[in-house]
A and B are shown apart, each in its own frame.
Chain A
Amino acid sequence: MWEALHFEFMRNALMAGVLVSVACGVVGTLVVVNRIVFVSGGIAHAAYGGIGLALFTGLPPTLGAGIFSVGASLIMGAVSLRSRHRTDTVIGVVWAVGMAIGVVLVDLSPGYHVDLMSYLFGSILAVPKSDLWFMLPLDLVIVFTVLIFFKEFLAISYDEEFALVRGIPVNALYMALFCMIGFSVVMIIRIVGLILVIALLSIPPYIAEKFTSSLGTMMVLSTLFGILFTILGLWISFSFNLTSGAAIILVAGAAFFLSLAVERIGGSGLRQNVEEYTR
């Protein structure tokens, strides 16, 4: 493992893993407690349309994916605020149409596109330094937005109606959350690809939730879990020459099932024990 750090691509990969884990930890926690995991799946797949657009027009793929994922986030945000009961349908439509646009635009682009797989399954080992400089500000925007409006995000996530009666601009905050999901998705696509985005957004917060009854602690813990999963996944992928994105997700998935098993065996005492211990 340590000799691997001599390679610049490995150091970049680790940095990228950390940066993405921060976004995943913070935004993923809000996604999980608001029960909008599938919104992020939809946004991720719709982003493929942006990759197609980038190939077709010669834009940088990350920019194309960014435009599409933020666009898809805003559409889903607007729809879920307006007609809540049909949100799942709209997610499905945006999900499929976004991908279809991508496929058609790729068809229309001349040449053979061998690196498309890297957008589907990620290529953390090929992250250039320039991408890190693109991820850092996105991370900062996410972290500061959530820090500043933390109590408001907590309130709308727990009881939207009460927050509304308190005069909190619920809709504006939801749109901000959807935008942040869009930002995170663009970053995560570099690491594990758009097909696996859901896992990295939802698994670390899900496990973290078992250890705490504080939203803030849940964000920090899931960031740490995210970092752990990416490092372990990278190591496995490097040692056994496996696709890095899939290796990371399998590590996260193993941890997920392990946490379920521990919960079954240990009863529901995990959270209380930790809490009594920290009190």
Chain B
Amino acid sequence: MSKLTPAIEIEDLWFSYDKTPVLKEVSFTLEQGNYMAILGPNGGGKTTLLRLMLGILKPDRGTIRVLGLMPKEARDRLGYVPQSTEINLSFPISVFDLVLTGRLSRSRIGRRYTSTDRGKVETILEKVGMLKYRHWPIGQLSGGQRQRIFIARALATEPSILFLDEPTASVDPEFEVGLYEFLEELNREVTIVIITHDVGVISRHVKSVACVNRTLIFHGAAKITQEMVDMAYHCPVDLVAHGIPHRVLPEHEE
């Protein structure tokens, strides 16, 4: 079998908002089928990196290839779960119609949704356990339920890569466990990139870790290196104080 195109290939990426530099010298390659966690402090550029990979932002310098294409061209194959699901809570839209928007595509602008689209949405709603809520207005769901709907919307795009931006930020712990199991299952078919604060989860589920704070350190295994800890949090004590199990931290090698 020939080698697959990498899911993501970034080379010497630089980005700044106006004149404030946000990311510099970011380079890494992520193979398809991988499950990568991106961690780092607030304001370190995690979400910015995600938005660059989705083609919402354009880099100042450097190249990004997603599935071998420019991010803009690869969009049809990318699923995206934004950080905040609190947007537009009073918007007149039902769960079903919201997930249907995941079936939108450039090539079908101005055409109706088909019965295939509706069928797929029903299957996905079933999968995330929200089918019985399909007629509910979005504003009446709890945070966790809304999160499932946003994941369903991303899955409705039938993505090759799924990006999630802190999907457990506003949900109950029970849902969190379920979500990570769900993602692990999903990872058999889909490359996953997840931004998270939750360092504890990383060792158990993901296949690789990247740490972003202005620049990026990539680790092919699900390990948080001392270097990452130093860069991300400046102080390992801080990490431990947040209840990180010690086994996550690797042995000091040098």
A binding-site residues for B, Cβ under 8 Å: 33, 148-149, 151-152, 154-155, 157-159, 161-169, 209, 212-215, 217-218, 271-272, 275, 279
Assess the B101–A163 pair: CB atoms within 8 A.
Answer: yes
Query: If the complex has contacts A33-B92, A165-B54, A218-B92, are A152 and B137 also in contact, measured as CB distance less than 8 A?
Result: no
Which of B75, B90, B105, B137 lies in contact with A275, CB distance below 8 A? B137
Assess the B109–A169 pair: CB atoms within 8 A.
Answer: yes
Query: If the complex has contacts A148-B110, A162-B80, A162-B153, are A167 and B92 also in contact, measured as CB distance less than 8 A?
Result: no
Chain B residues with Cβ below 8 Å from A272 are 140
Assess the B105–A213 pair: CB atoms within 8 A.
Answer: no
The CA of A154 and the CA of B76, in the complex, are separated in Å by: 19
Assess the B92–A213 pair: CB atoms within 8 A.
Answer: yes
Chain B residues with Cβ below 8 Å from A214 are 92-94, 97
Assess the A154–B93 pair: CB atoms within 8 A.
Answer: yes
B 137-150 to A, binary, CB cutoff 8 A, 1 in contact else 0: 11110000000000
The CA of A217 and the CA of B97, in the complex, are separated in Å by: 13
Assess the A167–B105 pair: CB atoms within 8 A.
Answer: yes
Minimum CB–CB distance for A151 against chain B, Å: 7
Size category, B interface: 35 or more
B binding-site residues for A, Cβ under 8 Å: 54-56, 75-76, 78, 80, 82, 87-88, 90-94, 97-98, 100-102, 104-106, 109-110, 112-113, 135-140, 153, 157
A interface secondary structure, majority: helix
Assess the B137–A168 pair: CB atoms within 8 A.
Answer: no
Chain B residues with Cβ below 8 Å from A161 are 56, 82
The CA of A8 and the CA of B169, in the complex, are separated in Å by: 63
Minimum CB–CB distance for A106 against chain B, Å: 41
Chain B residues with Cβ below 8 Å from A169 are 106, 109
Chain A residues with Cβ below 8 Å from B109 are 149, 152, 168-169
Assess the B104–A212 pair: CB atoms within 8 A.
Answer: no
Number of A-B contacts (CB under 8 A): 87
Chain B residues with Cβ below 8 Å from A152 are 104, 109-110
Assess the B91–A157 pair: CB atoms within 8 A.
Answer: yes
Minimum CB–CB distance for A35 against chain B, Å: 9
Chain B residues with Cβ below 8 Å from A167 are 75-76, 104-106
Q: Which A residue sits closest to B100, measured CB to CB?
A: A151
The CA of A217 and the CA of B92, in the complex, are separated in Å by: 9
**17 extra interchain contacts, Cβ-Cβ under 8 A, other than A151-B100, A165-B75, A167-B106?**
A151-B101, A151-B104, A151-B113, A154-B101, A158-B87, A158-B101, A159-B87, A161-B82, A162-B153, A165-B54, A166-B101, A166-B105, A167-B104, A212-B92, A213-B92, A272-B140, A279-B135
The CA of A54 and the CA of B113, in the complex, are separated in Å by: 45
Q: Which A residue sits closest to B106, measured CB to CB?
A: A167
Minimum CB–CB distance for B187 against chain A, Å: 21
The CA of A151 and the CA of B117, in the complex, are separated in Å by: 13
Chain B residues with Cβ below 8 Å from A162 are 80, 82, 101, 153
Query: If the complex has contacts A158-B93, A272-B140, are A164 and B101 also in contact, measured as CB distance less than 8 A?
Result: no
Assess the B106–A166 pair: CB atoms within 8 A.
Answer: yes
Chain B residues with Cβ below 8 Å from A149 are 109-110
Chain A residues with Cβ below 8 Å from B102 are 166
Assess the B105–A155 pair: CB atoms within 8 A.
Answer: no
Assess the A163–B92 pair: CB atoms within 8 A.
Answer: no
The CA of A157 and the CA of B157, in the complex, are separated in Å by: 19
Minimum CB–CB distance for A198 against chain B, Å: 19
Chain B residues with Cβ below 8 Å from A33 are 88, 91-92
Chain B residues with Cβ below 8 Å from A157 are 91
Assess the A165–B97 pair: CB atoms within 8 A.
Answer: no
The CA of A217 and the CA of B106, in the complex, are separated in Å by: 26
